C-alpha cells in the first residue's frame, strides 16, 4: 500500500505540488521516459512531472488545478493503484533560519509573539532597501538615540548647516525632517515643563498646564519610532517591527501637553508625500471632523500613501458622532487601529467601531525607546507605554516590513494584506471591521489580495466638541506614573 503523508497545518507546503518516491529505479525510469502512468492521467491530465531528482528516484509533480484535484485523500486513493510508488509527501516550504535577535530587552516585547513577528522575520528575505520611508508625525524624535540612529531618514539633497535651501523645497537645512510645531530644522524631542492635568472649572473640559519647576522630555514620538524601526540585532535595547527602513521625523506636536494643529499636521503630511514617504504613522487625533482634512486624506490616499492612524483612547465608538479623526475619515488609504491586551481583549481605553476601525493590535505595556533625564541633552532610555498610539506603529512597522519585501505593492494592496490576514478574535467580532488582531506572519504570506476596500459611509456633521489632547495615545502626563522604565 502506498504511503501518503497528509499535509499538516505546519509546516507549510505548496498547494498542488508533491514529491513521489519510487521503490526502485525501474519504476522511476518508467515515468522519466515521458510516459504518463494511468494514475497521473486520472489525477490531472495536464499535470507536469519533473524527474530531475533521478539520483533519489523522486519525481516532482505539479497539478494544473490544485483546488480541484490536489486534495490528499484523492491523491492517496489514486496513487495507491501503482505498486512501484513507495511514498508521496507535500512539497514543503523552507525558510532561512535567522538567529533570534540579540537585543537586550527582546523578552519584554510580548507583542512580537502575539503578532507572529518572529515567524515573519524568519520568512523575510534579507533586504537592503533604504527607500522604504515611514514618516512619523508626532512630538519629535530623539534621532540620535542609540537604538534609532541607524534607521533615521536623511535628506541627501540638503547640505547640512549651510543655511541654504539646497533642494528648493522651502525648508532651510532640513537634513533630518522638519519641525512644524516650532518651524525650525530640529524635529527633535525637547525638554518641556512637566504637564499637569486638571479640569477647567468653567467648562468642565480637560485642562493641561505647565508645572512651574519640573521638566520632562517629549517621549511620545521617540517611543512610536522605536516600535516601528528600532535597530534590530545590535545587542542593544529593543527590536523594531521593520528592518532596514527609514524613519522620517516630522514634529507636528509639542509643548508640555503634546498639542498640535490641523495646519501643522497638514504641512507635515505634505512634506512626507513630497519626500518619498510611502507609509505615515499618525498616533494622534481629535473629535474634530474637518472637511478640509477629509479632502486632504483622500488626496494622499489617491497618491499611494498608506496612513496608519490610532483609533483613540476615550473608549468611544468611532461609528458614532464622537468619532476620532483622522482614523475615522473615509479615505481608502487609512488604516484605523484599536488596542488589545495580552489576552486579545480590547483594551479598556481603546476606541472601537465595526465600520470605522479596521483592526486591532497590541497596545498595552509596549516597551520602546524614549529620551530621558533633565539635562539639555537626553540620555538613551526605554519605557513601556499603553494606548492606541502604541498599537498604530506596530501596524505601520508591519506595513513597512511587507513593503520592503515587495516595493511594488500599492497602499491599498498593503492595507488589504494586513486586513485580510488578521487572527479572528471573538472578543473583537463587534469591535473592529475585520473582527481580528494583526498577524504579521500571515500578512507576509498573503499572496492573493483584493486591493479595493469598500468606502466607509459618510461621516456625521463636523462637531466643535472637544476631548483630551491625547493624540491617539496615552496622555503625556501619564508617562511617568503609569509606565515602567528600563
404-449 confidence digits (pLDDT tens): 999 999 999 999 999 999 999 999 999 999 999 999 999 999 876 6
Tell me, yes or no, if 220 is annotated catalytic.
yes
Q: Of residues 105, 145, 220, 223, which has the active-site annotation?
A: 220
Query: At 475, is the pLDDT very low, low, confident or very high (cuts 50, 70, 90)?
Result: very low
Task: Write down the pLDDT at residue 66.
Answer: 67
Query: At 478, is the pLDDT very low, low, confident or very high (cuts 50, 70, 90)?
Result: very low
Q: Is the previous residue joined to 357 through a cis bond, with omega within 30 degrees of 0?
A: no
Which of 67-76, 290-299, 309-318, 460-469 has the weakest average pLDDT?
460-469
Task: Write down the pLDDT at residue 24.
Answer: 86
Cα separation, 72 vs 83, whole angstroms: 18
pLDDT at 97 over 50: no
Q: Of residues 82, 138, 173, 372, which has the active-site annotation?
A: 138
Tell me, yes or no, if 408 is annotated catalytic.
no
CB 332 within 8 A of CB 365: no
Predicted TM-score of the model (pTM): 0.76
Query: At 476, is the pLDDT very low, low, confident or very high (cuts 50, 70, 90)?
Result: very low
> Average of pLDDT values for 324-343?
96
Angle in degrees, 0-180, between the axes of helices 291-302 and 262-274, rounded to the nearest 10: 10
Cα separation, 203 vs 211, whole angstroms: 21
Q: 137: which 3 cell numbers?
A: 508625525
Q: Of residues 368, 381, 389, 391, which has the active-site annotation?
A: 389
Task: Write down the pLDDT at residue 470.
Answer: 39
Which of 164-178, 252-266, 422-436, 438-452 has the weakest average pLDDT?
438-452
Task: Write down the pLDDT at residue 371.
Answer: 96
Tell me, yes or no, if 350 is annotated catalytic.
no
Higher pLDDT, residue 20 or 453? 20
Q: 292: which 3 cell numbers?
A: 478640509
Q: Give CA separation, 84 vs 1, 2, 25, 63, 88, in Å.
A: 10, 9, 9, 20, 12
Task: Note the pLDDT tens digit of each residue in 1-48.
Answer: 444 444 333 445 677 777 888 888 887 887 766 666 777 777 777 778
Amino acid at each position: 500500500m502506498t504511503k501518503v503523508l497528509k499535509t499538516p497545518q505546519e509546516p507549510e507546503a505548496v498547494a498542488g505540488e508533491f514529491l513521489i518516491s519510487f521503490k526502485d529505479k525501474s519504476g522511476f525510469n518508467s515515468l522519466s521516459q515521458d510516459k504518463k502512468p494511468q494514475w497521473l492521467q486520472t489525477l490531472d491530465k495536464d499535470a507536469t512531472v519533473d524527474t530531475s531528482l533521478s539520483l533519489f528516484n523522486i519525481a516532482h509533480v505539479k497539478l494544473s488545478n490544485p483546488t480541484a484535484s490536489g486534495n490528499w485523500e484523492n491523491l492517496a486513493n489514486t496513487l495507491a493503484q501503482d505498486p512501484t510508488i513507495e511514498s508521496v509527501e507535500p512539497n514543503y516550504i523552507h525558510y532561512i533560519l535567522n538567529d533570534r535577535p540579540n537585543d537586550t530587552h527582546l523578552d519584554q516585547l510580548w507583542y512580537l509573539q502575539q503578532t507572529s513577528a518572529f515567524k515573519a522575520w524568519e520568512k523575510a528575505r534579507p533586504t537592503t532597501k533604504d527607500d522604504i520611508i515611514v514618516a512619523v508625525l508626532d512630538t519629535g524624535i530623539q534621532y540620535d538615540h542609540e537604538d534609532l540612529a541607524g534607521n533615521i531618514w536623511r535628506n541627501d539633497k540638503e547640505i547640512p548647516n549651510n543655511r541654504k535651501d539646497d533642494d528648493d523645497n522651502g525648508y532651510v537645512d532640513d537634513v533630518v525632517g522638519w519641525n512644524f510645531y516650532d518651524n525650525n530644522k530640529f524635529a527633535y524631542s525637547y525638554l518641556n515643563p512637566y504637564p499637569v492635568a486638571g479640569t477647567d472649572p468653567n467648562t468642565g473640559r480637560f485642562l493641561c498646564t505647565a508645572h512651574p519647576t519640573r521638566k520632562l522630555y517629549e517621549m511620545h514620538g521617540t517611543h512610536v519610532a522605536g516600535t516601528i524601526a528600532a535597530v534590530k540585532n545590535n545587542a542593544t535595547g529593543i527590536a523594531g517591527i521593520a528592518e532596514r527602513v527609514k524613519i522620517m521625523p516630522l514634529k507636528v506636536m509639542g509643548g508640555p501637553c503634546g498639542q498640535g494643529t490641523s495646519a501643522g499636521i497638514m504641512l507635515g503630511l505634505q512634506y512626507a508625500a513630497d519626500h518619498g514617504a510611502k507609509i505615515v504613522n499618525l498616533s494622534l487625533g481629535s473629535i474634530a471632523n474637518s472637511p478640509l482634512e477629509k479632502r486632504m486624506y483622500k488626496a494622499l490616499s489617491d497618491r499611494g500613501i498608506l496612513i496608519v492612524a490610532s483609533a483613540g483612547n476615550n473608549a468611544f465608538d468611532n461609528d458614532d458622532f464622537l468619532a476620532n479623526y483622522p482614523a475615522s475619515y473615509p479615505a481608502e488609504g487609512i488604516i484605523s487601529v484599536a488596542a488589545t491586551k495580552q489576552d486579545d481583549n480590547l483594551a479598556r481605553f481603546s476606541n472601537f467601531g465595526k465600520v470605522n476601525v479596521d483592526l486591532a493590535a497590541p497596545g498595552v505595556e509596549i516597551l520602546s525607546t524614549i529620551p530621558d533625564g533633565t539635562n539639555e541633552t537626553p540620555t538613551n532610555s526605554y519605557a513601556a507605554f499603553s494606548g492606541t498610539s502604541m498599537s498604530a506603529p506596530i501596524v505601520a512597522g508591519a506595513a513597512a516590513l511587507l513593503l520592503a519585501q515587495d516595493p511594488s505593492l500599492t497602499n491599498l494592496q498593503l492595507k488589504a494584506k494586513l486586513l485580510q490576514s488578521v487572527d479572528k478574535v471573538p472578543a473583537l467580532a463587534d469591535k473592529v471591521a475585520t473582527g481580528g488582531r494583526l498577524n504579521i506572519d500571515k500578512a507576509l504570506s498573503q499572496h492573493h489580495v483584493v486591493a479595493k476596500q469598500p468606502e466607509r459611509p459618510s461621516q456625521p456633521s463636523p462637531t466643535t466638541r472637544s476631548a483630551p489632547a491625547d493624540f491617539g495615545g496615552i496622555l503625556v502626563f501619564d508617562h511617568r506614573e503609569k509606565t515602567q522604565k528600563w
